[in-house]
Amino acid sequence: MREDNVSKRELRERLLQVRRGLTPGDRAEAERVIAQHALDLPELSRARTVAAYVSMGGEPGTRALLDLLRERGQRVLLPVLLPDNDLDWAPYEGPGGLVRAARGLYEPTGPRLGPDAVTRADAVLLPGLAVDGRGLRLGRGGGSYDRVLARLDAAGATPALVVLLYAHEVLDRVPDEPHDRPVDAVVTPEGVRRFGKG
């Protein structure tokens, strides 16, 4: 699907509409299969620390993956939304260590490690609504993960960047801006697609 002449706002709404149409069974199966594919990624297998997120709404589910990463002995960091839409980070200590927060998010209750904690992650799982053939990700528009990516660049950090999506959200092209940074891979229920870096 090519989306050259569509604004980010219009494209976001189209993609969110499709997500709203997914059944609970569709979402549960996608979560299970995405977790399996993601765990097979060498970038995640060798990661000591993975920065991730708790899925919400119609996003591809992450909870199974978070728990499996912890079971393998990997440290998982989850975001805490700050008032200015930046992200702090705290360790994930299991489902019992999550609380409902602003905007319907679930956040960890553990100690806050500061916004720069993400720069020490070996892999970063990014939420999104779409990714294109160049590896450019379309987010929800809040700018939180743009700040994360800028922070990684400023620190010279080079973790693997992986976005989790449904297969129909891998598009030919998404609207982009000069600051957009490509991801390394997308994981969908159908498998993994990698993107070359210029």
Domain boundaries, the chain: 8-194
Instruction: For strands 49-51 and 123-126, give the pairing.
Output: parallel
113 is in an annotated binding site: no
Mean pLDDT of 19-41: 95
pLDDT of residue 198: 43
SS (H, E, C) 52-101: CCCCCCCCCCCHHHHHHHHHCCCEEEEEEECCCCCEEEEECCCHHHEEEC
136 is in an annotated binding site: no
Instruction: For strands 185-188 and 191-194, give the pairing.
Output: antiparallel
151 is in an annotated binding site: no
Q: pLDDT tens-digit profile of 131-141? A: 999 999 999 88
Q: Which residues pair with 49 in a beta bridge?
A: 75
User: Measured between alpha carbons, how far is 172 from 88 in angstroms, rounded to an integer?
Assistant: 33
User: Measured between alpha carbons, how far is 56 from 60 in angstroms, rounded to an integer?
Assistant: 8
pLDDT of residue 5: 61
12 is in an annotated binding site: yes
Instruction: For strands 106-108 and 98-100, give the pairing.
Output: antiparallel
196 is in an annotated binding site: no
Grade residue 145 by pLDDT with cuts at 50, 70 and 90.
very high
Q: pLDDT tens-digit profile of 159-191? A: 999 999 999 999 999 998 888 889 999 999 999
**Is pLDDT of 47 > 80?**
yes
Q: pLDDT tens-digit profile of 70-109? A: 999 999 999 999 999 999 999 999 999 999 998 888 999 9
- Exposed / middle / buried, residue 170 (Cβ in 10 Å: 0-12, 13-18, 19+): middle
* Percent over 70 (pLDDT), the chain: 96
User: Measured between alpha carbons, how far is 135 from 38 in angstroms, rounded to an integer?
Assistant: 17
Grade residue 2 by pLDDT with cuts at 50, 70 and 90.
very low
143 is in an annotated binding site: yes
pLDDT of residue 178: 83
10 is in an annotated binding site: yes
141 is in an annotated binding site: yes
166 is in an annotated binding site: no
Q: Where does 8-194 sit in CATH, by number?
A: 3.40.50.10420
What's phi and psi for 2, nearest 5 deg? Answer: -110, 130
66 is in an annotated binding site: no
